[in-house]
Amino acid sequence: MNSSRDFELLAVTIQVDGHPDIPVPLAQDGPDDQARERWARPTTVSLREGAEFRVRLDFSVRARHDVDGLKFIDERTREGVTMGHRETHLGDYRPGGPYEVVLPPEHLPTGHLARCTYECTGTFVDGAGQELGRVTHALEITKDWPQ
């Protein structure tokens, strides 16, 4: 799921200084459950260990009222175990957009134990705790930059 009636996630982009922006493909609703499952498979994004990166979120608010207390919850799991959880408060938004928010930079871990694939789930939640949107992708940490 990438949107609700009141919220539309337009794009998620990973930004690394000195490298081209990496768009994260958004899942699309299919005509039936089988097609939806096929579209929902996470796309893998590869980054070098120790890299500093930022996530840019582009979205619009389609509600007839303001969205108050919007936050983005980022959770990373590895083989079913939560390895990281971060909540970022994005603020209040009026209907309209598109809005662009760049999250604070973060560093990837280093070392051979960190080199693997993590499943990442980003969830948009309003101040009342209602889920407005979700995006999933896989993050592969590699020794060197992918070619």
Is cis: bond before 98, omega within 30 of 0?
A: yes
Question: What kind and span of H or E run contains 93?
Answer: strand 81-93
pLDDT band at 29 (very low <50, low <70, confident <90, very high): very low
Q: Which amino acid appears at position 101 of this protein? A: V
pLDDT band at 37 (very low <50, low <70, confident <90, very high): very low
Using the predicted structure, report yes or no on whether residue 63 has a pLDDT greater than 70: yes
Q: What's residue 26's pLDDT? A: 77
pLDDT in tens, 101-136: 999 999 998 988 888 899 999 999 998 899 998 888
- Residues 107 and 85: their CA atoms lie apart, in Å, by 14
Domains, the chain, ordered by start = 7-142 (2.70.50.30)
Using the predicted structure, report yes or no on whether residue 65 has a pLDDT greater than 50: yes
Q: What's residue 145's pLDDT? A: 83
- Residues 15 and 41: their CA atoms lie apart, in Å, by 22
pLDDT band at 41 (very low <50, low <70, confident <90, very high): low
| 10 backbone φψ class: left, alpha, beta (φ>0; ψ -120 to 50) | alpha
Mean residue pLDDT of the chain comes to 84
Place of tokens 């209040």: 92
Tokens of 80: 């079913």
